[in-house]
Amino acid sequence: ETGVTQTPRHLVMGMTNKKSLKCEQHLGHNAMYWYKQSAKKPLELMFVYSLEERVENNSVPSRFSPECPNSSHLFLHLHTLQPEDSALYLCASSQRAGASYNEQFFGPGTRLTVL
Amino acid sequence: EDKVVQSPLSLVVHEGDTVTLNCSYEVTNFRSLLWYKQEKKAPTFLFMLTSSGIEKKSGRLSSILDKKELFSILNITATQTGDSAVYLCAVDDQGAQKLVFGQGTRLTINP
């Protein structure tokens, strides 16, 4: 596979469930990102990892818990979510965080619905 | 606080028309401005602009940056129905090591 892949593509969960979103990049990049895209709002950066170390956390609620075991994989663990957390969650990667060339390659996203 | 504002938010034109999309920004430490096209899910990269006044061109699409007035435009000539998408503008904040995105412009091309 090439590029950035995300699983699952669609997820429906109840507020008491625990689930995880997975992202994998096959580009040899060192930085990975989680974004949230809600209807009619700009893309919101949630987390940035550079060389498996978190460098940015934009005041995201603790019910979202990221994990980056290596530079190719990124997880977003979800628990006790709220209906307003329903959104498209996009993963992206780039060569380096903070580099002069910061083109980010995006995955297809996970459409999350919280009931 | 970093801010990126795109206009218009929505635009509907006929095939063959030329469109201009706008992006203005306020960023503490500007490094570059990027344009993305989002059709279904994943945004795909179009252009990265770092210098004022130098036009980037790819087929019918072109873009230019004005770092003095803090804006960029994306032009699409001879539009086709396949150009229908949300166009996202993002600015790379050098200090914060992150991209700040605008709300996007939803472009619809009618046959």
Is it the case that residue A24 has pLDDT exceeding 90? yes
pLDDT tens across the length of chain B (111 residues): 789 999 999 999 999 999 999 999 998 888 889 999 998 778 888 988 988 888 999 999 999 999 999 999 999 999 999 999 999 999 887 766 677 899 999 999 999
Nearest CA-CA partner of B57 in B42, B70, B69, B47: B47
pLDDT of amino acid A2: 67
Across A26-40, A64-78, A91-105, B48-62, least confident range: A91-105
Please judge whether B101 and A90 are an interchain contact, meaning their C-beta atoms are less than 8 angstroms apart: no
Per-residue burial over A51-71, b = 16 or more CB atoms within 10 Å of its CB, e = otherwise: ebeeebeeebeeebebebeeb
Please judge whether A90 and B45 are an interchain contact, meaning their C-beta atoms are less than 8 angstroms apart: no
Inform me whether the C-beta atom of residue B5 falls under 8 Å from chain A C-beta atoms.
Answer: no
Please judge whether A42 and B92 are an interchain contact, meaning their C-beta atoms are less than 8 angstroms apart: no
Chain B residues in contact with A50 (beta carbon < 8 A): 97
Inform me whether the C-beta atom of residue A5 falls under 8 Å from chain B C-beta atoms.
Answer: no
User: Can you tell me the distance from the alpha carbon of B5 to that of A42, in angstroms, rounded to the nearest whole number?
Assistant: 10
pLDDT in tens, A37-61: 988 788 888 888 887 777 777 678 9
pLDDT of amino acid A100: 47
